[in-house]
Amino acid sequence: MNPLEERIGYKFRNSLLLAEALTHPSVGHETQRHHFNNQRLEFLGDAILQLVITEYLFNHFSAEAEGQLTKLRSRLVSRETLRVRAAALDLGRYLMIGRGEEASGGRERASTLADAYEALIGAIYLDSDLETAGKFILAQAKPDLEEVAEEPVDINPKGHLQELLQSISPRSPAYELISESGPEHDKTFVVKCVWENMVLGQGSGRSKKQAETAAAIDAMKQKVWEKRNG
């Protein structure tokens, strides 16, 4: 586990906690034996993540009302945001998962990565304290926190993108489903945003709507149309 500990900047005293955080429930399902998994740590990590982000927003956005703070928090702890953070740590590569889950692309699944990320937070908290877990959360969230500081007003990404593009051309962007995977109760949708024969962005989510929103956000980050016109 040393390479992962280097990536996260934290050395576990109890390595079993890290092993538990990285164990997907599919391991126990396949062996038909009682086997620890990361679901309890995920439950704990989710609560700690919410608390740390809530406290940060409360202290740094003193002019914002409760409703706006809730929207900002949702943005910072969304499944897609956590998936991106987990992917940046290459967390999927360190997961212990069942063979069936592996075969169906479990290591890249947004829900699996987001859950493991929350479980990792729970494990760090139990291995140390709230302050240490908080430092990890805020260090990881730094780019997103800076983005929120620049644009705290919650926008409608699809509507915003459409307005941007319609100032260039009357055509609206289209959203095309690339794939859907996972069981019926926990599907992951991947969508691309297309405009003027260009793929502007791609996103994933637990619903087509979520995936389209993620694709619109990706498109606004990449600004492919500016490269073509520039």
For the annotated catalytic residues, the residue numbers are: 46, 118
Alpha-carbon distance 41 to 50, whole Å? 14
Alpha-carbon distance 76 to 70, whole Å? 10
Question: How many of the other CB atoms lie within 10 Å of CB of 52?
Answer: 23
DSSP 207: S
Question: How many of the other CB atoms lie within 10 Å of CB of 126?
Answer: 18
Question: Helical H runs in the chain?
Answer: 2-8, 15-21, 26-31, 39-60, 66-76, 79-88, 99-103, 110-127, 130-150, 157-166, 208-222, 224-229
Output the six-digit token pair for 188.
Answer: 């992951």
Identify whether the C-beta of residue 201 lies closer than 8 Å to the C-beta of residue 221.
Answer: yes
Alpha-carbon distance 131 to 135, whole Å? 6
CB neighbour list of residue 35: distance below 8 Å, 6 or more residues apart? 23, 27, 28
Output the six-digit token pair for 132.
Answer: 């240490």
